[in-house]
Structure 1
Amino acid sequence: MRTISIISQKGGAGKTTLALNLAVVARSAGCSVAIFDTDPQASAYQWSTWRDGDEPPVIDCGSPTLLPVKLKQAAKDGVDLAIIDTPPHADIMAREAAKAADLMLIPCKPQAFDIASAQTSAELARSSRKDAFVVLMGGPQRAAVVYSDVADVIEGTDEMEGMGVALAPVMLTQRAAYHHSIAQGQTVTEFEPDGKAAEEVNNLWNWLTTVIDIPLGHTKGENA
């Protein structure tokens, strides 16, 4: 089983949106996937109730001590990919999620306070010796100068030291489909499969499969 932990110490960074959209596109690609909701607000779990029990399953896991136990059980149950959605301002849970991760994703809006906050998650990735990427979320579709400046801050330049983590080459921009789909218990690849938001999520997933070896073709409940 592979584990992707989505970690940001800042609220509103887009962690749950990223987790849900990745989980659904992973399942459509043939993965048996489970979402681990470690946020006391349980937004991912609420979303799952709006789906009337449809896959992928969301596992409520509000205690750091329960996370490794439930991950181990998921692996025994044949889950190929675990996606951990973490709460903001939660050092202990963030450390547990980082420890369990094969890959860390750090969602971040292209704004000064958000980028500054991402530094904490980048430091966690470095101390955990885990591969990590910043995924830009909720920015404008066209802002080349802004994104160039953000890339310089995150990855560094000859004159400026970066965060020590890489910037994902795909971003999820500000699109209404992300909000409308979640409210209906869906994700963008279900809500508007031919839309621009769905294209972004598919591109992000395709890139992820080149970064981490994710088992495919074992969707839970289906024959491989």
Structure 2
Amino acid sequence: MHTIVLATQKGGSGKSTLAIGLALAAKQAGFTVRLIETDPQGTLSNWARRRNNDDVVVEPIYHAADFEPRLKMLATSGLQLAIVDTAAGLSAATTAAIRHSDLCLIPARPSVADIEATVSTLSVARAWKRSYSFVLNQTPIRGQRIDNAANVLAEEAALDLADVLARPLIVMRNDHQDSLASGLAVSEFAPNGKSTEEVRGLWQWVETRLNISATNVLIDQVISAAAGMLHVAAERASDETTILAS
């Protein structure tokens, strides 16, 4: 199982809408997905209640101590992907989520306040040696401010821009908020829209970054399950041999 965490100190950066968009894009790509909510504000839970079906499960985990054992249980159950939405600011739950992530996505709007707010999240990801990338979110369609923000993020991470900035950038459009209000992902609300194209592109970028595909993950799970069955069979055969010998 792979775990993706969306975290940043600044509120209103679009973590929840990105989490939902990525979850549905991954599901449509063939992955089994669980959305995990560590934010007591309950944006994901409220969104799930507005849906007309229960095809995407939102699971609240508000206590840091519960995070690791629950992830292990989900992995054992065969889940392929967990996407975690965190609260604004840094908390024990957010730190636990980042600690156990395969990739920490740090959303930031192209503003000074948002970029400054990424520092603490970046520090936690680095302290636990977790992979991370920035997502420039709610950007204008074009403009120098985007380039400036991207360059500052790269300088902040002390890495080349291509190594730390997810692609594509996510443009500010009403589709994201309208879909959230309707209990939908943007790919369901406007399947042929530009916003959907960008979110699907972002998921493809994540797939490439993590070097995963739904087919390969499923094959790995089948191999692991088969190995487990063989191990149990070998233990039983050994026990029977011991009984016969005695």
**TM-score, structure 1 length as denominator?**
0.90
In the other structure, the counterpart of 1:139 is: 139
Q: Distance in 2 between matches of 1:188 and 1:164?
A: 33
* 1:213, distance to aligned residue in structure 2 (A): 2.9
Distance 1:102 1:200, change over 3 A: same
Matched, 1:57 2:51: no
Matched, 1:163 2:157: yes
Point out where structure 1 has 5 or more consecutive residues left out of the alignment.
157-161, 220-224
In the other structure, the counterpart of 1:182 is: 180
In the other structure, the counterpart of 2:35 is: 35
Q: Distance in 2 between matches of 1:42 and 1:11?
A: 14
Q: Return the match for 1:192 from 190, 193, 200.
A: 190
Please give the per-residue CA displacement for 1:90-121, whole angstroms capped at 9, x wherever unaligned. 33112101111011100111011010001111
Amino acid in the other structure paired with 1:187: A
Amino acid in the other structure paired with 1:211: R
Amino acid in the other structure paired with 2:179: S
SS at match of 2:39: coil
Q: How does 1:11-160 map to 2 (within 5 A)?
A: 11-143=11-143, 145-156=144-155
Amino acid in the other structure paired with 2:150: A
Given that 2:167 and 2:201 are in contact with CA atoms closer than 8 Å, whether structure 1 keeps it comes out as no
Amino acid in the other structure paired with 2:135: V
SS at match of 1:201: helix
Q: Distance in 1 between matches of 2:89 and 2:153?
A: 21
Given that 1:80 and 1:215 are in contact with CA atoms closer than 8 Å, whether structure 2 keeps it comes out as no
* 1:209, distance to aligned residue in structure 2 (A): 1.0
RCO higher in 1 or 2 (8 Å CA, sep ≥ 6)? 1
Amino acid in the other structure paired with 2:46: Q
* 1:215, distance to aligned residue in structure 2 (A): 4.2
In the other structure, the counterpart of 2:207 is: 209
* 1:214, distance to aligned residue in structure 2 (A): 3.0
Given that 2:90 and 2:121 are in contact with CA atoms closer than 8 Å, whether structure 1 keeps it comes out as no
Point out where structure 2 has 5 or more consecutive residues left out of the alignment.
219-246
Please give the per-residue CA displacement for 1:102-154, whole angstroms capped at 9, x wherever unaligned. 111001110110100011111111111111000011110111x1121112211
Amino acid in the other structure paired with 1:95: T
Please give the per-residue CA displacement for 1:157-204, whole angstroms capped at 9, x wherever unaligned. xxxxx3246111211110000011111110111111100100100111
Please give the per-residue CA displacement for 1:20-56, whole angstroms capped at 9, x wherever unaligned. 1000110010000001100001110111111144222
Q: Distance in 2 between matches of 1:32 and 1:214?
A: 13
Given that 1:104 and 1:132 are in contact with CA atoms closer than 8 Å, whether structure 2 keeps it comes out as yes
In the other structure, the counterpart of 1:222 is: none
Calculate percent identity across the aligned residue pairs. Answer: 34
Amino acid in the other structure paired with 1:154: L
SS at match of 1:65: helix
Q: Distance in 2 between matches of 1:146 and 1:11?
A: 20
How many aligned positions are there?
Answer: 213
Given that 1:126 and 1:164 are in contact with CA atoms closer than 8 Å, whether structure 2 keeps it comes out as no
Amino acid in the other structure paired with 2:13: A
Q: Distance in 1 between matches of 2:97 and 2:157?
A: 20
Q: Distance in 1 between matches of 2:58 and 2:32?
A: 12
Amino acid in the other structure paired with 1:74: L
Given that 1:81 and 1:215 are in contact with CA atoms closer than 8 Å, whether structure 2 keeps it comes out as no
Question: Of the two, which has the highest radius of gyration?
Answer: 2
